[in-house]
Structure 1
Amino acid sequence: MNFNNILFLDIETVSQFETYNHLPDDWKELWDLKAGIINRNREDENSETAYPRASIYAEFGKIICISCGCLQGTGENKKLVLKSYCGNDEKKLLQEFCDMLQKWSGEADKFLCAHNGKEFDYPYICRRLVINGIEIPEALKISGRKPWEIRHLDTMELWKFGDYKSFTSLKLLAKVLGIPSPKDDIDGSMVNSVYWVEKDLDRIVEYCQKDVITLAQVLLRFHCEALIKPENISIKYVQHQN
Structure 2
Amino acid sequence: MNPEIVTILDEDPDLSRTITEPRLGAARRECRASVIDVPLGSWDAQSALVPARGGYGLLVLDGVLARRAGRRRRHGVELLGPGDLIRTEDAAADGATLPFAVTWRVVESARLAVLDTGFVRRSAPYPEIGVRLMARATGRARNVLVHLAIAQHARIDARLWLALWHLADRYGRVTPDGVLLPLRLTHELLADLIAAQRPSVTLSLQQLERQGRLARRDGSIVLLGDPPTEGNTGTTGAPAVKSTSSPA
Tell me which of the two structures has the higher relative contact order, counting C-alpha pairs closer than 8 angstroms and 6 or more residues apart. Answer: 1
TM-score by length of 2: 0.26
Structure that is richer in strand per residue: 2
Structure that is richer in helix per residue: 1
TM-score by length of 1: 0.27
